[in-house]
Amino acid sequence: LVDRTVLVTGGAGFIGSHLVDALVEENEVRVLDDLSTGQVARLPDDVELVHGDVRNEELVAHATKDVDVVFHQAANVSVPASVENPMTTDAVNVDGTLAVLEAAREEDARVVVASSCAVYGDPLSLPLAETDRLRPESPYGVQKATVDEYARLYNELYGLETVALRYFNVYGPRQGDGGGYSGVISIFLEQARNGEDVTVEGDGSQTRDFVHVSDVVRANLAAATTDAVGEAFNVCTGTETSVLELAEHVVEHVDSNADIVNVEERAGDIARSYGDDTKARHQLEFETTVELEDGIRDLSTR
Ligand code: UD2
């Protein structure tokens, strides 16, 4: 993307800040972030920060003024938090997205919405494809399914250019910085570095589709220019890795003598998950580039 004015909501967060880095050289970048988990230190100098809540319609409209593309990453990303507080997380995740879509409608801006594989719930069949029924199993999953559908609806109803990206298990630099909700890879890396036990929940046979954040950025850039608007795409590698394999890779690459131990399985944990990347390859002309082992090797040297 070049010579555009773009808004990255959640731009001080894990994924948002990588997106900002990729955009800032050649575009005018604005960030809307409440800094609840985001960090100002992640933002390059040339970025305009609008500090505040995505539920604040006036503020969102102000941040969206004269914008060509909105990359909507702001969300409460914690599944457990959504189970604890369905209403407050719904307000942030759903009302916040509606505020963004409404502001974009005013500006006729394209919106790339961060959706999630959580929209699928426990898979009936694998790999998970975009045509599968949505059966979310957490308030977070319902909220993401809702905004994913709103993105499609805004395209159909108002002709707004929207794309929903269903992120699978994203990992990479800055994840879990400063505590808070983080993913298994950053937890394992931290444990291995500190020589602590690497805690595999259950027997470690559960699988996930781990996508490097740089590939998530590339998917967003593809979505900013694609003709395939009104569509939802998996952002996945199409391969599954077990949590035990993951633990072994991490310990090996960190060169740690940490032990891999089994702890209690997580209640309601999904046994297997990986996505079908065919639609994204064909219609979005996007495929992932970072192999999991390379991603882990790189993280282990940071
Ligand atoms: C991911 C997303 C979540 C939602 C969900 C949809 C992340 C961080 N979370 O949740 O937002 O989209 O997918 O299904 O990407 N584990 C261990 N030891 C640990 C921590 C985790 O064994 O110390 C296991 C855990 O039990 C699970 C797997 O690692 O089987 C992945 O856990 P996670 O929290 O990284 O991500 P997940 O798939 O629950």
Model confidence pLDDT, tens digit, residues 16-57: 999 999 999 999 999 999 999 999 999 999 999 999 999 999
Distance between Cα 237 and ligand 1 center (Å) = 16
Assign residue 130 a region: left if phi > 0, alpha if psi is -120 to 50, beta otherwise?
alpha
Residue ranges and CATH numbers for the domains of the chain are 5-169+211-235 (3.40.50.720), 172-209+239-275+290-300 (3.90.25.10)
Instruction: Name all residues whose Cβ lies below 6 A of ligand 1.
Output: 77, 79, 116-118, 169-170, 183-184, 187, 199-201, 206, 208, 243, 266, 269-270
Task: Indicate the top mutation candidate among 115, 138, 144, 169 to test ligand 1's pocket, ranked by most ligand atoms within 8 A of CB.
Answer: 169
Q: Residue 163: phi, psi to the nearest 5? A: -140, 135
Is 140 a residue of the active site?
Answer: yes
Residue 285 CA to chain centroid, in angstroms?
19
Six-digit token pair at 169?
């298990």
Q: What span, in angstroms and rounded, lies between the C-alpha atoms of 190 and 168?
A: 21
ipTM exceeds 0.95: yes
Could you list the pLDDT tens digit for every one of the 302 residues in the chain?
A: 999 999 999 999 999 999 999 999 999 999 999 999 999 999 999 999 999 999 999 999 999 999 999 999 999 999 999 999 999 999 999 999 999 999 999 999 999 999 999 999 999 999 999 999 999 999 999 999 999 999 999 999 999 999 999 999 999 999 988 777 789 999 999 999 999 999 999 999 999 999 999 999 999 999 999 999 999 999 999 999 999 999 999 999 999 899 999 999 998 899 999 999 999 999 999 999 999 999 999 999 98
